[in-house]
């Protein structure tokens, strides 16, 4: 278990050097009236009726609040401190620590390591395979040298759905996503001067990283 000192760092608070605790789970930054006086924030403090609710104890009334500059290295951001009566170790909220560059959060790492989910005795063997055949584990996997044939009932009448326009704010990103899929050989471009008896509209979904997922609306195609 980590000691709480592992999450302490020195900051310049309102031109005063001091040590604070970094709490990534805290929604607000907190200090005591003793620290506020030490940081010369009495003149900036305004009354507050807010109550802070710690993880495992009863809500704590806030004596006041004050905003001041906090500096870490070459970065400074304004921080609103909730000030409670007495003395306590000052706590910097996770959002502020992120803005100051004290911590880094990446919700979408470039590389995932599935080897970590494999039994320990198989990891060495898998690592050897990954190192020996790296070309087989990069990009989008696909079956080469084999043409897939789609069996369509000839008695079924082709379904043509009139095209819908993409939302204006997504047009450029949608075009790029489609061009990327063509380049990756996921889809093929259909020339406008060639007949297309089967037509379905594309559906756009925004991923967590802001990119677009292009899928197909197959509801009409799948109707009886």
- The answer to whether residues 20 and 80 belong to one domain is yes
The last residue of one of the domains, among 72, 100, 128, is 100
Residue 193 lies in a domain: yes
Greatest C-alpha distance within the chain: 85
* N-to-C CA span, the chain: 60
What would the 3-class secondary structure string for 159-176 be? CECCCCCCCHHHHHHHHH
Which residue is listed with tokens 């789970």? 25
Residue ending a domain, choose from 75, 100, 125:
100
> Is residue 165 situated within a structural domain?
yes
At residue 196, what are phi and psi to the nearest 5 degrees? -135, 90
123 within some domain: no
Secondary structure class of 101 (helix, strand, coil): coil
d(CA 186, CA 178): 9
Cβ(35)–Cβ(87) under 8 Å?
A: yes
| 158 and 95 in a common domain | no
| Integer Cα distance of 100 and 98 in angstroms | 5
Residue 172 within any structural domain of the chain: yes
Instruction: Please check whether residues 12 and 93 belong to one and the same domain.
Output: yes
Residue 139, sorted as left (phi over 0), alpha (psi -120 to 50) or beta, turns out to be left
Domain boundary residue, one of 100, 131, 160:
100
Residues 76, 99 contacting (CB under 8 angstroms): no
Residue-level pLDDT, tens digit, the chain, 224 residues:
345 556 899 999 999 999 999 998 889 999 999 999 999 998 899 988 888 887 767 888 899 999 999 999 989 999 999 999 998 899 999 999 999 999 887 766 665 555 455 566 677 777 788 888 887 777 777 777 777 787 888 888 888 888 888 888 888 888 888 898 888 888 888 887 888 888 888 888 888 777 888 888 888 877 76
Q: Which residue range is the domain that position 206 belongs to?
A: 148-223
Would residue 156 count as lying in a domain? yes
Residue 29 pLDDT = 95
What total number of domains does the chain contain? 2
pLDDT, residue 69, reads 94
pTM: 0.47
Q: What CATH number is attached to the domain comprising 93?
A: 2.40.70.10
The tens digit of pLDDT for each residue in 118-173 reads: 566 677 777 788 888 887 777 777 777 777 787 888 888 888 888 888 888 888 88
Count of all residues that appear for the chain in the document: 224
Domain assignment present for residue 213? The answer is yes
In a domain, 117, yes or no: no
Q: Which CATH number does the domain housing residue 198 bear? A: 3.10.10.10
Please give the pLDDT value at position 118.
Answer: 59
Q: Is residue 113 part of a domain?
A: no
């Amino acid at each position: 278990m980590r000691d709480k000192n592992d999450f302490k760092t020195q900051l310049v608070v309102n031109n005063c050097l001091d040590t604070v605790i970094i709490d990534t789970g805290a929604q607000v930054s907190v200090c005591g009236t003793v620290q506020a006086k030490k940081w010369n924030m009495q003149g900036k403090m305004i009354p507050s009726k807010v109550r802070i609710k710690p993880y495992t104890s009863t809500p704590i009334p806030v004596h006041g609040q004050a905003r001041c500059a906090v500096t870490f290295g070459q970065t400074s951001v304004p921080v609103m401190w909730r000030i409670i009566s007495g003395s306590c170790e000052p706590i910097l909220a996770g959002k502020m620590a992120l803005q100051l560059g004290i911590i880094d959060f990446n919700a979408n790492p470039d590389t995932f390591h599935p080897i970590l989910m494999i039994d320990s005795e198989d990891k060495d063997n898998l690592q050897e395979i990954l190192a020996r055949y790296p070309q087989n584990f990069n990009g989008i996997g696909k079956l080469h040298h084999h043409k897939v044939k789609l069996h369509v009932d000839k008695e079924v009448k082709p379904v043509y759905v009139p095209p819908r326009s993409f939302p204006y704010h997504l047009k450029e990103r949608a075009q790029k996503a489609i061009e990327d899929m063509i380049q990756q050989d996921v889809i093929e471009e259909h020339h406008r001067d060639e007949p297309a008896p089967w037509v379905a509209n594309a559906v756009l979904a925004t991923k967590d990283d802001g990119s677009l997922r292009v899928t197909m609306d197959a509801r009409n195609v799948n109707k009886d």
